[in-house]
């Protein structure tokens, strides 16, 4: 996939407004939110792209799983996507408010479900306003639609796949958080590429040539698996790999939350010093 098929720039979105098939969602998450701070939904209510609905990541996540944001099983996922108002022919745009990883996670889930017309607004709400886009308050909801999954199972891997990859020299297991995160703990044998090195602050992807130069594709590797703390930031790296021409990339959905929670083998940066 190329950059233009994954990202939409704000001026292009502005020109598409009014298209009956367009579905725009604020997919912002609030990480490390204090009790006294507003929620992502309240922030959406205070100002969003006209017509946009709110994308609650919880509705496409398995609430019965002890680890957060684990993607739903096929039938439940299709039902929830339809309830959001997304049909197979909808043109879907996800954006965040200074939170690109939340939008890329939404994109990854929808692509995994088999949707072919989904992009991320590069730069999010700030980019929209920068090109003269207005904002509105309140809430919107699209009419329910019918969606049938055509899963792309290669886009997510589980802990068993990662365990196997640890002994596979053709698979690159890539950690996407700062190395000091989680106390320096990581999956043994990991490579390291901080998702922040791919973004301009937290709002947009860096230019195409920077992405290509940063995401180096080692010819030894036939597959790349990205992971983080909970499968969110990992989607930034995974999409960057796609834009750089590495098509065989997957996200470890459980990431370190599950890996450490299940007592699987870890290494620690502190031991390297």
119 and 163 assigned to the same domain? no
265 and 164 assigned to the same domain? yes
Which band of pLDDT confidence, cut at 50, 70 and 90, is reported for residue 137?
Answer: very high
Q: Which of 80-94, 162-176, 183-197, 209-223 has the lowest mean pLDDT?
A: 209-223
Instruction: Indicate whether 212 pLDDT > 70.
Output: yes
136 and 167 assigned to the same domain? no
197 and 92 assigned to the same domain? no
Which band of pLDDT confidence, cut at 50, 70 and 90, is reported for residue 273?
Answer: low
134 and 16 assigned to the same domain? yes
Instruction: Indicate whether 155 pLDDT > 60.
Output: yes
Which band of pLDDT confidence, cut at 50, 70 and 90, is reported for residue 270?
Answer: confident
Partners of 254 in the β-ladder: none
* Mean pLDDT of the region 135-161: 98
Which band of pLDDT confidence, cut at 50, 70 and 90, is reported for residue 35?
Answer: confident
Domain ranges, residue 240: 154-272
Say if CB 176 and CB 153 are below 8 A apart: no
Distance CA(217)–CA(202), nearest Å, equals 24
92 and 188 assigned to the same domain? no
Say if CB 238 and CB 248 are below 8 A apart: no
Q: Which residue has the higher pLDDT, 115 or 179?
A: 115
Instruction: Indicate whether 160 pLDDT > 80.
Output: yes
- Quote the tokens at residue 141: 């909801």
Which band of pLDDT confidence, cut at 50, 70 and 90, is reported for residue 62?
Answer: very high
Distance CA(162)–CA(173), nearest Å, equals 8
Instruction: Indicate whether 32 pLDDT > 80.
Output: no
The neighbour count for residue 271, using CB atoms within 10 Å, is 7
95 and 18 assigned to the same domain? yes
How many structural domains comprise the chain?
2
Q: Please give the pLDDT value at position 115.
A: 98
147 and 158 assigned to the same domain? no
202 and 264 assigned to the same domain? yes
Instruction: Indicate whether 28 pLDDT > 80.
Output: yes
Domain with 167 in it: what CATH number? Answer: 3.40.250.10
Distance CA(98)–CA(96), nearest Å, equals 6
Distance CA(175)–CA(94), nearest Å, equals 24
178 and 262 assigned to the same domain? yes
14 and 125 assigned to the same domain? yes
């Amino acid at each position: 996939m190329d950059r233009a098929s994954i990202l939409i720039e704000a001026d292009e979105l502005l020109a598409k407004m009014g298209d009956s098939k367009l579905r725009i969602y604020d997919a912002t998450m609030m990480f490390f939110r204090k009790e006294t701070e507003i929620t992502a939904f309240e922030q959406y209510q205070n100002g969003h792209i006209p017509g946009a609905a709110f994308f609650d990541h919880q509705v496409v996540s398995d609430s019965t799983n002890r680890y957060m944001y684990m993607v739903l099983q096929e039938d439940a996922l299709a039902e929830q996507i339809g309830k959001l108002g997304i049909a197979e022919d909808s043109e879907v745009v996800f954006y965040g408010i200074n939170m690109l990883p939340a939008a890329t996670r939404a994109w990854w889930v929808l692509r995994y479900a088999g949707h072919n017309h989904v992009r991320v607004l590069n730069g999010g709400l700030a980019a929209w306003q920068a090109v003269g886009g207005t904002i509105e308050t309140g809430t919107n909801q699209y009419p329910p639609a019918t969606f049938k999954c055509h899963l792309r199972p290669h886009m997510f891997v589980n802990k068993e796949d990662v365990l196997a990859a640890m002994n596979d020299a053709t698979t690159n297991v890539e950690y996407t958080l700062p190395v000091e995160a989680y106390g320096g703990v990581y999956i043994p044998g990991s490579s390291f590429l901080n998702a922040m090195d791919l973004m301009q602050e937290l709002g947009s992807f860096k230019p195409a040539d920077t992405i290509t130069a940063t995401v180096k594709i080692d010819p030894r590797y036939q597959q790349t698996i990205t992971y983080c703390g909970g499968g969110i930031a990992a989607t930034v790296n995974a999409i960057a790999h796609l834009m750089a021409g590495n098509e065989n990339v997957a996200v470890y959905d459980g990431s370190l939350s599950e890996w450490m929670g299940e007592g699987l083998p870890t290494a620690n940066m502190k031991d390297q010093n």
